[in-house]
Amino acid sequence: MKKLFLLFCSLTLILCAGATHAATEIRDTEIEAGLTRLIAPLAHAADISDGRLRIHIIGNDDFNAFVTSGEDVFIYSGLLMRIRSAAALQAVIAHEMGHMVGGHMAQMAARMRAELMRSLIMQALGIGLMAANPMAGAGVLAGTTGMAQQSMLSFTRDEERLADDAAINLLTKAGLDPNGLIEVLEQMYEITGAAEARINPNNTNHPLTSERLKNIKEKIGKREKTKPAGNSVNYEMLRAKLVGYLQTEQQVENLYPSKNKSDPAVYARTIRFMRSGNLEMAKTGAQTLISREGDNPYFYELLGDIEHQFGHYDDSVNAYEKSLKLIGAQAPQIQTALALVLAERNKPGDADRSIELAKRAILTEPQPLSFWVLAKAYGYDARADWARAEYYGMMKNEKEMKKYAKLARSKLPKDSPEYIKAGDLLQK
């Protein structure tokens, strides 16, 4: 499996491309923290313990989200950039959590096993009939796949309806606005409405959006009106950050024209300036944001990114240190960014501080880049070979992993932790 690791400092994209699929997971401290705060009321309403529900942002322009059999919600960046409000995003996550709470993934797996068994029995019957009546046997074989497919489509349509109902219940219990679900479906209908007119509703795994809208409006309309709880997340800032990193210069200008002086507009344009190499304009934008909100750690993180690209190592270190101080908690991605700048600056004491930061980041949340930076900080120390082996192991590059693990074991003391860890890698 080929993998490419791209770093925009603040926002990290890990691209995993295989023969049959490609997926990009986006990692960003600010966006993940904001989404976690947004979903916390829903998690509590669903009796999910703190920290168990995990959000993954997938770098894909589709208007989509999905859930796996565990407590993991995957949200496409295309959906995040298009969803217009925090309430609407909470409604999407509530729907996906409805699948979790309802155990739909486990039910689907069981249903698939049942359909597979029925299909095998029908195929065996078809083969038996072939000997006596070839045309009848061929007919049974031809119909087997279609029957199983229609059964599964009907099952998933029912689960989607149940997940919509569960979403309304979860939003209401959490004190959130269930009308966000209507907002999302109306937005979906803008995208799919024309195409749905030509779709056979029995040949899709979701109910038609028009049907879902009608059902949800009826159910929400019958509920007692409650004042939704507020939230402390500026969702528009999260959207602006993604747009700045992922959209073209023209797209950013269309969404956030120069005459728009709001914080989200300045944020998106500043990030886009940094990406395009216009560092002077980027620095001016970051300083503007800091002047408006001097206690926002992510504005200092952005300034650290920009100063790093300038080659202003001292200013970059100061900005990252300020960001970490304001966050006041573990922030592995920012710690790794600071560790990288320190390793590159390489003043007396920088290597030790870089190693310390990279190790803390790895202890909190192991990521490939943290191991790569750790190797850079170690320099010519034999532990750098172990760190590179860990990096390539996480990137699923077995050849390079084994190469560096063997190098590490050839140089390191046999009782050192890194020697033992390199041996563990070779045993994988």
Select the highest-mean-pLDDT range: 61-75, 100-114, 311-325. 311-325
In the prediction, which pLDDT does 184 show? 87
Distance CA(154)–CA(146), nearest Å, equals 12
In the prediction, which pLDDT does 197 show? 52
Find all residues with CB under 8 Å of 422, minimum gap 6, and list them. 385, 386, 389, 404, 405, 406, 408, 409, 412
Contact indicator for 98, 163 with CB cutoff of 8 Å: yes
Q: Tokens representing 90?
A: 């909470």
- What is the rounded average pLDDT for all residues in the chain? 81
Task: Report, as an integer, the average pLDDT of 296-323.
Answer: 98
Digit-coded pLDDT (tens) for 164-193: 888 999 999 999 989 999 998 888 778 766
Nearest to 354, CA basis, from 236, 365, 122, 369: 369
Select the highest-mean-pLDDT range: 146-155, 220-229, 393-402. 393-402
Higher pLDDT, 139 or 100: 100
Angle at 323 between CA 318 and CA 328, to 5 degrees: 125
Nearest to 272, CA basis, from 305, 314, 308: 305
Digit-coded pLDDT (tens) for 33-88: 999 899 889 989 988 887 787 888 999 888 888 777 557 888 999 999 999 899 99
Higher pLDDT, 132 or 173: 173
Distance CA(42)–CA(167), nearest Å, equals 9
In the prediction, which pLDDT does 229 show? 58
The conformational region for residue 252 under phi > 0 = left, psi -120 to 50 = alpha, else beta, is alpha
| Three-class SS state of 225 | coil
Distance CA(223)–CA(203), nearest Å, equals 32
Task: State which amino acid sits at residue 426.
Answer: L
In the prediction, which pLDDT does 404 show? 98
Contact indicator for 324, 307 with CB cutoff of 8 Å: no
Higher pLDDT, 221 or 231: 221
pTM score, two decimals? 0.79
Distance CA(282)–CA(244), nearest Å, equals 11
In the prediction, which pLDDT does 265 show? 98
pLDDT above 50 (res 127) = no
Digit-coded pLDDT (tens) for 331-388: 999 999 999 999 999 999 999 999 999 999 999 999 999 999 999 999 999 999 999 9
> pLDDT confidence of 140, banded at 50, 70, 90?
very low
Give percent of the chain with pLDDT exceeding 70.
75
